[in-house]
Chains A and B, each alone.
Chain A
Amino acid sequence: MVAVTVSQVTKRFGATEVLKGIDIQVPDGHFAVLVGPSGCGKSTLLRCLAGLEEVTSGSLTFGERDVTSLQPRDRDVAMVFQSYALYPHLSVRENLAFGLKLRKTDAATIKARVDEVAEMLGLGPLLGRLPKALSGGQRQRVAMGRAIVRRPALFLFDEPLSNLDAALRAQVRVDIRKLHDQLGATSVYVTHDQVEAMTLADVMFVLNGGVVEQSGRPLEVYEAPASRFVAGFLGSPAMNFIAATTVAEPGGEGLRARLGDGSVTIALPPRDGLGAGRSVDVGVRPHDLELCAQGEGDIELTVDFVELLGPEIHAHGVLAGTKVVACIETSAGAGIGIGAVIPLKIRRLHLFDRESGRTLR
């Protein structure tokens, strides 16, 4: 169990700078998730933590130990790979015991630990099998077991669920979190899946283009995204963004936003230092659009497509020249069809500076 500190870490591959001065702190025993789109540097950062890549500059500290230049084997970490990386010529039992054998653990301890982990993960009947005789889910569990059996100070996960089907992924996600709570070891988990990030993390780091765009508790980040990128990355369906210009409220104080092609304006809540004539992006989560009575809405959406998802419907339409999605409870929106014009209340909106993409608070 260690706290992990990443200080000013950069990583270059030739002329390409993949990590551009990353600062991260993961408290002891926390489950940290690095999330971001492909190419954002999250896997590279994880590999730097594992010691599989050298950092170009900066430092990595596990607890009190500076591990920046240590070999992987000296870092006391265990890693679950996306491909599981099970040794194909070794049985499940030998796979689990591999790390302990290398560390010259005595045979009795190895057997006890392997049996314990096999029991914990339900691998008992599989111990004699080779990896090729296992299903995807079983391989994933063996990979987890191989990490757990060593009792490392730090667990690293590199998109460990991406090769599983959707149903299994949801189940294993829960299992991983339960295991973490049971073992209490610090974990760093890489994913591009925002659902995994939201559900697993104690602390979440959203990476983009080699920098940490925002970090914090998942709900905090979701509720108060620091940038347009973070706002768009978290949440499904993604947040609606509508280009707008701020205008003064006619005949009163406050501001309005003239949306898209200028055909619609909406009232804006006050923001520090925001005046009229500013180019902004208005962001509204599809779940923050609420169906209301005729005449009471902030906007009206002309529906051009409807997705039925069971408990809710996704109404697609165009607002002021921009495509918009609204999530509406099925019971409330039962009659909505293509061509319908529906009044919607905006429960909550976010405002981003057009140029910098930063949130205007």
Chain B
Amino acid sequence: MSGHGDGKDAGRQVSWIESAASHFVVVLAVAFALYPVLWVIALAFSGTSTPEARVLPIPREPTFDHLWAVVSTTREVGESTQWLFGRQLANSLIVSISTALVGIGIAIPAAYALARFDFVGKERGLRVLLATQMFPAVAAAIPLYLMLDALGLLNSRTGLVLCYATTAVPFAIFQLRAAFESIPVDLEEAAMVDGATRLQAFVKVVLPAARPAIAVTALFAFMSAYNEFILAATLLGKEDMFTLPVVLQRFIGEYDAQWEAFAAGALIVSLPVMVLFYVLQRNLVAGLTAGGVKG
């Protein structure tokens, strides 16, 4: 957005007018992007019961009650009390991480094969993969429900991971194929001449070189699973198996909307994603620009 940190501006004195102007633009853009988020934050910490339209998103009668109420939900299981929210958070994280791992685990070898080898049916296979991307996963909700029912995987994390990974794999393959294609073949060949087997060359040279792209692809898979609602709501019927989007939706009932609880829940749900983005930010930038510049 601004010229700062951009290599081409290095060594040039930036005048204070330029600096102020670029900061102003950045602040404006950030404010524009964050305004709705600030509203959610204000709502989550407000003590009043109904949201009202105001210009400044400042909480009325600030309180942590809503956050605490969302986090501390429990349920009775026989004699003992179970921390329900903890279990639901765990459901979301386990399902999303597993989706990312399974998706990436399948997509990496597939994408590498598509990037490096010629084989019968390659082009046709790619077209079929592309075709699967034209339909939303929801379109398959009913068949998936019936299949998982037959397999006894309804109301299970495994079932959900299977469904999510299925939809994550084609996109991951396309993403990673482009990343592998941008890595010069010379690198693998150099490794093989240096004494590596093809597998060693792949593991020791190609995978590290593709790490940013793999991180981004994994993050996309994680995010799509973490945010998914419709399949989760369809395939999960028991409260203790819910993922967080399903939990959130429960705050908005047919006759009663708990907006503060919803906002508090939304904030909590966002935290893991924010942490993940923060940790992966370096890879994200490199991964999103991968392929633009040949190595």
Contact = CB atoms under 8 A, between A and B. Distances in A.
A89 B208 contact: yes
B123 interface: no
Contacts of A229: none
- What are the 6 A-B residue pairs with the smallest beta carbon separation, nearest first? A99-B194, A85-B190, A85-B186, A102-B195, A89-B208, A73-B195
B192 A72 contact: yes
Given A83-B184, A85-B190, A103 B195 contact: yes
B192 A71 contact: yes
Contacts of B205: 87
A114 to B, nearest CB: 14
A79 B205 CA distance: 17
Interface residues of A, number: 23
A89 B211 contact: yes
A146 B200 CA distance: 18
B132 interface: no
Nearest to A52: B189
Nearest to A105: B195
Interface in A49-74: 50-52, 71-73
Q: Looking at A99, A102, A103, A146, which has the most chain B CB atoms within 10 Å of its CB? A: A102
Contacts of A99: 194-195
Given A89-B208, A89-B209, A79 B193 contact: yes
Contacts of A87: 187, 190-191, 205, 208-209
Chain B's interface size range is: 10 to 19
Contacts of A150: 194-195
Interface string B176-198: 00000000101101111111110
Contact of B193 (A52, A82, A89): A52
B189 A98 contact: no
A222 interface: no
Interface of B: 184, 186-187, 189-197, 200, 204-205, 208-209, 211, 295
A78 interface: yes
B190 A81 contact: yes
A310 interface: no
Interface in A21-75: 50-52, 71-73
Nearest to B189: A52
B193 A77 contact: yes
Nearest to A104: B195
A77 B39 CA distance: 65
A88 interface: yes
Interface in A82-96: 82-83, 85, 87-89
Contacts of B193: 50-52, 72-73, 77-79, 156
Contact of B194 (A82, A89, A146): A146
Given A88-B209, A88-B295, A89-B211, A79 B195 contact: no
B194 to A, nearest CB: 4
Given A81-B189, A85-B189, A99-B194, 16 more contacts: A50-B189, A51-B193, A52-B189, A72-B192, A73-B193, A73-B197, A78-B194, A79-B190, A79-B193, A81-B186, A83-B186, A85-B184, A89-B208, A98-B204, A99-B195, A102-B204
A52 B192 contact: yes
Contact of A98 (B194, B197, B295): B194
